[in-house]
């Protein structure tokens, strides 16, 4: 493996609704709104809840909002759906200050000041917003410091992504880049080892000695990592499977790799309790 030098970021009218939404982020769903309230990393100006809908989880969320001096209003399910742009909001919608993606350099400035430097996930063209949200959710659970996204032919951070992330966006920074290959080379210059995922790789993730700092690269849903991006990886690893299907959904694969990296960093066994090829 090559070595790199360097240190090893009802509203008044439908038009007013559109204006407000254009100036911030709409968060949908109990988990996404609750985590945004608890994290306190950005300003939330309004929480809407469905009329005549009360559960212990919603009551807890409303207590969090009122304790923080955030305005709460009851709206019809139809109105919430109009605000959210989706019916999949669980009766809770919030308006928050917009979270803009960082540049790669800003992300690196933010992460390389931490000890140890947390891993970074790099997504080479993930298209499904629910997959992206699930990757970010797993990243938050396993201490991944940031997720690098491609700006073209890939999904960006949307309300659907935020809901699927279930609050993970409040804890995981995202960076947007136009060229994944060039970004990997910049990561190497900052001392990162670049590890890609490929189902045909010779090395398995449960036997690999993950270095640090680390960038994990995942490909798009249909074709995986592009051949060009693979050439910029220091090593490729695969997730060993025992069933007839060889490939995993990108969000599932990311969760498995994040777990393996976490186990390695904590000195825990990452081998699965079964015999793997």
pLDDT tens digits, one per residue of 180-237: 999 999 999 999 999 999 998 999 998 899 999 999 999 988 889 999 999 999 999 9
Considering the domain delimited by 104-266, tell me its CATH architecture: 3-Layer(aba) Sandwich (3.40)
Asked if residue 37 lies in contact with residue 65, where contact means CB atoms within 8 angstroms, the answer is yes
The pTM score is 0.76
pLDDT computed for residue 266 by the predictor = 57
d(CA 261, CA 37): 29
Least confident span in 102-111, 127-136, 170-179, 257-266: 257-266
Q: What is the token pair recorded at 173?
A: 């920074």
Q: What is the 3-state secondary structure (H, E, C) of the chain?
A: CCCCCCCCCCCCCHHHHHHHHHCEEEEECHHHHHHHHHHCCCCEEEEEEECCCCCHHHHHHHHHHHHCCCEEEEECHHHHHHHHCCCCCCCEEEEEECCCCECHHHHHHHHCCCCCCCCEEEEECCCCHHHHHHHHHHHHHCCCCEEEEECCCCCCCCHHHHHHHCCHHHCCEEEEECCHHHHHHHHHHCCCEEEEECCCCCEECCCCCCCCCEEEEEEECCCECCHHHHHCCCEEEECCCCCCCCCCCHHHHHHHHHHHHHHHHHCCCCCCCCCCC
d(CA 269, CA 259): 11
Domain boundaries, the chain: 14-97, 104-266
pLDDT tens digits, one per residue of 22-79: 468 889 889 889 988 988 888 899 999 998 778 899 999 999 999 999 999 999 999 9
Domain 14-97 superfamily per CATH: Ribosomal protein L30/S12 (3.30.1330.30)
């Amino acid at each position: 493996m090559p070595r790199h030098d360097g240190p090893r970021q009802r509203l008044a009218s439908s038009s007013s609704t559109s204006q407000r939404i254009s100036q911030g982020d709409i968060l949908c769903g109990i988990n996404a709104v609750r985590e945004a309230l608890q994290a306190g990393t950005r300003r939330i100006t309004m929480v809407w809840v469905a009329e005549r809908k009360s559960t212990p989880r919603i009551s807890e969320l409303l207590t969090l909002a009122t304790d923080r001096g955030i305005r709460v209003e009851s709206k019809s399910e139809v109105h919430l759906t109009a605000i959210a742009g989706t019916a999949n909001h669980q009766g809770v919608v919030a308006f928050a200050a917009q979270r803009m993606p960082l540049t790669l350099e800003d992300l690196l400035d933010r992460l390389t000041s931490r000890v140890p430097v947390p891993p970074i996930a790099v997504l080479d063209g993930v298209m499904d917003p629910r997959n992206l949200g699930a990757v970010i959710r797993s990243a938050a659970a396993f201490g991944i410091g940031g997720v690098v996204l491609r700006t073209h032919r890939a999904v960006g951070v949307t309300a659907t992504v935020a809901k699927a992330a279930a609050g993970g966006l409040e804890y995981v920074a995202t960076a947007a880049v136009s060229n994944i290959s060039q970004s990997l080379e910049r990561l190497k210059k900052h001392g990162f080892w670049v590890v890609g995922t490929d189902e045909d790789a010779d090395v398995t993730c449960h036997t690999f000695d993950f270095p640090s700092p680390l960038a994990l690269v995942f490909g798009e849903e249909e074709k995986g990592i592009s051949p060009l991006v693979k050439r910029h990886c220091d090593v490729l690893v695969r997730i060993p499977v025992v069933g007839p299907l060889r490939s995993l959904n990108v969000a599932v694969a990311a969760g498995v790799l994040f777990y393996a990296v976490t186990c390695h960093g904590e000195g825990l066994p990452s081998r699965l309790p079964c015999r793997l090829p």
